[in-house]
Amino acid sequence: MTARKPYPPIEPFRMGRLAVGDGHEIYFEECGNPAGLPAVFLHGGPGSGTSAQHRRLFDPTRYRIVLFDQRGCGRSTPLGSLDGNTTWHLVDDLERLRRHLEIERWLLFGGSWGATLALAYAQAHTDRASGLILRGIFSGRRSELDWFYECGANRLFPDHWENLVAQIPAAEQDDLIAAYRRRLLDPDRAVRARAAEAWTAWEGATVMLRSANPPTRASGGSVSDGQIAFARIENHFFFHELWLEEGQLLSNMDRLAETPGVIVQGRYDVVTPAITSWQFAQAWPKADYRLVEASGHAFAEPAILTELLDATDRFADELATG
């Protein structure tokens, strides 16, 4: 397979803010062709926000591309707020945004946590999802959280793991998510910054198949408010197990029996191991499962990016003629 490059950089033809309740306003933008096939990009995290790179995953001549920053992150306000910030609030926000933009049905594109949100929304609003493109599915089961924050990924990245646990006294290391929550909610910004730096460094070290980032001890000296917000929101969702019943998304896949989908999965994805996406593919008759060799978790890995671009092109063909 020849590696593909993203579509050329583009600017939004519309930007706006939408009040969604609980004091939150979400930022949204539209790019590409106003008369094109509607598609919404769901960013990961939770809490990371969208970027200009995400616009480039779709053919701008064929797609009406919608991007938005979920509650509390990116350009949405208030930054880092955990109030009224749950999976089901975000599902409602997505539906509110669809109605605001007067879109009948749209293609959902999400990776990692974005795949979680796409599945939760599509299962709740099956008539509004024209299809799904999912990368590295995370479904929020206890086994998935334990793999990344208790016993699993640490065996592959013991040097980076050491930096993560170094911030936490031995007496609290039996529950790192709860221990980090206490620090990320601390009134002292310096405490929050050190915790956020270590929390995000662990994730950043594991997302690519090959990482050039050496492990470093957290100092908190140059941590942005956005980085703190990301860590707070992600930890908040994981602490509450995403407000999902154990195995809920997989159990409800019968709701998507008639919905077409593409699943792109890196074989060596350490953040969301392939077993999860494999199980979803077995339960989803209309899913096209792409297990990508020599790839990890990030959408920017060349082979994964190529599969994602092929998927958006394929949906543009199929949905336009369907």
Active site residues: 112, 269, 297
Tokens of 40: 């919404």
Angle at 26 between CA 115 and CA 114, to 5 degrees: 5
Sheet of 37-42, strands arranged across = 14-21, 24-32, 63-68, 37-42, 106-111, 129-135, 261-266, 287-292
Cα distance between residue 66 and residue 62, in whole Å: 13
Task: List CB contacts of 29: < 8 A, sequence separation 6 or more.
Answer: 12, 14, 15, 16, 50, 66, 67, 68
Beta strands in the chain (DSSP E): 14-21, 24-32, 37-42, 63-68, 106-111, 129-135, 261-266, 287-292
